[in-house]
Amino acid sequence: MELRTLRYFVAVAEELHFGRAAARLHMSQPPLSRAIKRLEADVGALLLARSPAGVTLTPVGRVLLDEARALLDRADLVRDRVSAAAGPATLTVGILGDGTDPGISALAAAHRRGRPGIDIRVRDTDLTDPTCGLRAGLVDVALTRGPFDETALTVRVLRTDPVGAVLRADDPLARRARLRLAELSDRRWFRFPPGTDPAWQSYWHGGSAREGPVVRAVQECLQAVLWNGTVGLAPLGHEPPAELAVVPLVDMAPSRVVAVWNEGDTNPLIRSFVETATAVYRR
């Protein structure tokens, strides 16, 4: 006899209507009816008398209703006491240095509404570590962009963004409606320091080895473009400063926004966070 099934039974017994009980439980009516029938089979007695006029409790059903309410109240008390003993729930989230993404603000608001008891600690990271400290054990889950080495990691794609070339606004190519990577082959690009994830470097270098200034942060990339005419790449949809322009690249694969955590990590706070993120980013 599972607590979930008892909660189903209490809802039907209090509503005396399967449709209203299903709406209260945020589920459809057929699985609710099947659960009550299984409960009756487990008890070995009819709990609810069904008729065209509605539902009424049998004598056995009235006894079970009293016992179920007491048991569920006790279960809630146990859960609250255990949670209090464990202290505040904390989740450390790594975020790649891209605070302009509106999805992050929307996710923060949704998480506050849905999980107000969880303390979120944020670790901002620069562009040299696309997993945001996950492999080093500095964070529980990361909000970042691919691609990167996914060995021993679980990755959930939240959104894909087209990518463009970041150019100075007075660059002749900035007036173009679209560009191809080959048209930028003779330009200087920003680069990441040696040791940065190879898949990550290859993607943001347009698939080729590049010459240009070494950068570690988004602002460093933008300043390299502004001061030196360096070419950079950025997801479309992020408004650049007035001095810069972003021109779509037609032959560049989209950038994936992802949630990533260590493979096999069963922390329920991670699962809850990722499900909230998935819902927010797909709206």
pTM score, whole prediction: 0.66
Q: Which residues of the chain have pLDDT under 70?
A: 80, 83-88, 98-100
Q: Could you give all domains of the chain from N- to C-terminal order, each with its CATH number?
A: 3-86 (1.10.10.10), 89-160+256-281 (3.40.190.10), 163-253 (3.40.190.10)
Residue 73: Cβ-neighbour burial (10 angstroms; 0-12, 13-18, 19+)? exposed
Q: What phi, psi does 99 have (nearest 5°)? A: -70, -5
pLDDT digits (tens, 9 = 90+) for 85-134: 655 688 999 998 765 677 888 888 888 888 777 889 999 888 899 999 99
Q: How far apart are CA 127 and CA 196, in angstroms?
A: 9
CB atoms within 10 A of CB 157: 13
Q: Which amino acid is at 271?
A: R
The C-alpha R_g of the chain, in whole angstroms, comes to 27
d(CA 251, CA 54): 63
Q: What are phi and psi of 255, to 5 degrees?
A: -90, 130
pLDDT of residue 115: 78
Q: What is the pLDDT of residue 98?
A: 60
pLDDT at 100: 60
Residues contacting 88, CB < 8 A, separation 6+: 117, 118, 119
Contact present, 45 and 64 (Cβ < 8 Å)? no
Q: What is the pLDDT of residue 244?
A: 93
- Check residue 132 and give its pLDDT: 92
161-162-164 Cα angle (round to 5): 130
